Every structure is written in C-alpha cells, then in structure tokens.
Amino acid sequence: MNKAILSMAILVSSFGFAQTVSQDTTLTSNQQQNAIQNILSGNISKGVTVGGYAQVDYNQPEGANGKMDVHRMVMLLGYKFSDEVQFVTEIEYEHVKEVYIEQAFLNYSISDNFNVRGGLMLVPMGIVNEYHEPTTYNGVERPNVDKSIVPTTWREIGVGVTGKFDNASLRYQAYIFNGFASVNGSKVLGGSNGLRNGRQKGAESTINTPNLSAKIDYYGIQGLRLGLSGYFGRTQAADDIQDIDGADVGISMYGLDARYINKRFTARGQLIQAVLKDTDDYNNLNGANLGSELKGWYAEVAYNLLPLDKEQKLDAFLRYEKYDTHAATKDAGITRNLGYNRNEWVTGLSYHIAPGAVVKADYQFLDNAVDGNDTKGQLNIGFGVWF
C-alpha cells in the first residue's frame, strides 16, 4: 500500500489524474457528469426524459475459447414533476437474460446547493461506481479494482442529501443505506471477489443495521477533480441468526480518487481500502474465507492521438492495477491465498467515433503473487454507447 500511495502522490504532483468527459471531448472542465446527473440537470420544465447506454464485448483469453456478449443494455427514464421534484430510474439488462433495477430514487431539490433523495441509489465510492457509462472510462471491461474491491456496480436502498458549495469548489453526498447481506441466498462473502456477493441490489433487502456512506469532491483546480469517500457499518443478518457470533461483520471502507484532463492528455487513479471486523467468527459460522482487509489501487494515463479540432478522439491508454481481497487474514483465522493478490497491466485504444459512441480494444497482462503461476493474458474488443 505504501507503493500505491507513493505512486499516486508522484502522479498528482506531476499532472493530476484523469477525468473523461464523454459529451465534449475537448473540455478541460472538471465538472464531469454521469447519465443520472444529465437527467437531473435537464432543461425541460416538466415531463419525461429518456436515455440509455449499452456495451457489447468480445473477450479472448489466451489458450481458451473466446466469449461474445451483449454485456449490458440500460434504459434511463426520468420524470420531472416540478422544478423541485424528479424521479429517476435505471433499468439494466445484463447478458441478455438478466434484468436489474440499478437505480430508482426520488430527488427533492430544496435549493441549488441542497437536495434530499431516497430510494435505490449508487454508493459513492471510487470513480466507476458512479461514472460507469462505457464512454466514460478506458478499456473494454471496467477496472478490476472497481469490480473486486468496491464492488461495482454497488447500489442499495437509502436516503440522503447531496449538493455543492461553489465558493469552496466542493460537492458533497451523504447517505444512510442498508448494507451488504451477510449471506445472500446461497452466497457468502469472501474469496476472490471480497464483498461482491453481498450486494442486495434493492431486491427485498434485509436491514437490521443502517450504514453510513459519504463522499466529498473537490473541483477548484482547472481540469482536476479529487474525491474522498467513506463507508461505515455492518453487514445485514437474517432475524433468526442476527444475535449469533459471526452473523455479521463490521466494515470501514475508505476511498481516494483523482481525475485530470488537459487538452489531449487525461489521467486517473484511485485507492480503495476496506478493513473488516469479526471475520474470524464469520468464517467459522459460514465456512467462508473472508479476509480482514481488502485493498486495491490503479493509475492510468491516456493521450488523444487526434487533433483537438476533430470531433472524433482516439485515446491510447496504459493502466496498472494492483488489488488483493486477502490483504490481511490473521484476524480472519484463515490462510492467505496469494492467488487473490493480483496485478495487471492494461493497454489499448478507445476510438470515440462520435460524442457518445466508442469502439475499444485492449490487452490485459494478468499476474498474481503465486510463484510460477500460469495466469495468462486476455484480448478484449467491444463498443459502447451513451445517449
């Protein structure tokens, strides 16, 4: 982790970190928006707003058959009841056969700088969990730090406040959410995906301990945006076992992220760490292998190979990721699996053929901490749209 902090500090001091702006490829603004924010800030006085995004992938691992997938197709619907009240929802089809509600919340704007909202919402942790439209990040697949540590796309039901202080160049979010499920159907926490199996996704979610989530973004320097996130609470256990030792675990998660854009150059990076309590009892009760610490980080740089006066953009990028769902296991009473201590280099191209449409290709050089491991790389090709 010290290497991660040092690497991020060097990058911040030299050029900052990236922010990809999907709707205007020449901006040096740091006011990045995602699809939901675009709907909320729309100019209509009343009525329905419709949008969407989609991603189609081809993944070719070395030494194995390839996979082609309509990874996701998402419809965005918003309704503006008045200048103060809006409803927003995001309906997602994954792999053609799975349907999810990714967001569904009511937003009440009390003032330009203060909003109250409640419903199914994204947990503000890292970059991609909130900014996950395929035109807003490089690489066919989302970064693995966001998949295994955050874990994207992480959303739960809750209530909170959002807003900004323009005079201080700060945007804030604070929510009370239900938490991860301790046991989610037949799935337990742990393994290579850490907390990912515990996402309840708003589907008849159990709650017995409300959790706190908050994030502050700073945008006072042209082109640079810095984010600090926190999430604190416990997993949610069923009524019949909630008083048993090991029925739930405590979670303290911290995130630091940064994005930067300056003409043809962009960069981004993030650092996520989760410290868990009572994992020893949890593993004994559930036969799980949940570590007592999860952590990961990445740094990425990109450069647009086309002139700025072109509407199209061709970003060549390089990203390094390091992430470990068994970063600590002593307090968890289990043996550390070095196969969960992973790192990878990803390099490729993102060809934005029009604002809102991108064709991507990249190669992942995969590795882990097991001596002599036979981990192989993977070629990825795909396209994404956002409208």
Q: Per-residue pLDDT for 21 more than 70?
A: no
Higher pLDDT, 233 or 36: 233
- Which structure tokens are listed for 34? 């995602």
Q: Are the C-beta atoms of residues 81 and 88 closer than 8 Å to each other?
A: no
Q: Per-residue pLDDT for 354 more than 80?
A: yes
To which residue do tokens 């209509």 refer? 44
Q: Per-residue pLDDT for 371 more than 90?
A: yes
Report pLDDT for 15: 38
Q: Give the start-end residues of each E strand in the chain.
A: 47-61, 67-80, 85-94, 98-111, 114-122, 155-165, 170-177, 183-184, 187-188, 211-221, 224-234, 250-262, 265-277, 293-304, 313-328, 341-354, 357-368, 378-386
Report pLDDT for 29: 58
To which residue do tokens 């995906």 refer? 193
Q: Per-residue pLDDT for 325 more than 70?
A: yes
Q: Per-residue pLDDT for 19 more than 70?
A: no
Report pLDDT for 295: 98
Report pLDDT for 45: 80
- Name the pairing type of β-strands 211-221 and 187-188: unpaired
Report pLDDT for 31: 64
Stretch 176-195: mean pLDDT: 97
Whole-angstrom distance, CA of residue 387 vs CA of residue 385: 7
- Residue 14's pLDDT band (cuts 50, 70, 90): very low
Helix (H, G, I), strand (E, B) or coil at 63: coil
Helix (H, G, I), strand (E, B) or coil at 9: helix
| CATH class of the structural domain 2-386 | mainly beta
Exposed (0-12), middle (13-18) or buried (19+): which is 325, by Cβ within 10 Å?
buried
Stretch 250-261: mean pLDDT: 98
Q: Are the C-beta atoms of residues 88 and 97 closer than 8 Å to each other?
A: no
Q: Per-residue pLDDT for 26 more than 80?
A: no
Exposed (0-12), middle (13-18) or buried (19+): which is 339, by Cβ within 10 Å?
middle
Q: pLDDT tens for residues 44-67? A: 788 999 999 999 999 999 999 999
If you average pLDDT over every residue of the chain, what do you get? 92
Closest by alpha carbon to 44, among 80, 78, 77? 80
The string of DSSP letters for 235-256 reads -B--TTTTTSTTS--EEEEEEE
Q: What is the pTM of this model?
A: 0.90
CA gyration radius, the chain: 20
Stretch 329-357: mean pLDDT: 97
Report pLDDT for 30: 59
Higher pLDDT, 262 or 3: 262
Q: Give the start-end residues of each E strand in 62-206.
A: 67-80, 85-94, 98-111, 114-122, 155-165, 170-177, 183-184, 187-188
- Which structure tokens are listed for 60? 């070719």
Q: Per-residue pLDDT for 379 more than 90?
A: yes
Q: pLDDT tens for residues 95-128? A: 999 999 999 999 999 998 999 999 999 999 999 9
Q: pLDDT tens for residues 294-320? A: 999 999 999 999 999 999 999 999 999
Higher pLDDT, 62 or 16: 62
Q: Per-residue pLDDT for 270 more than 80?
A: yes
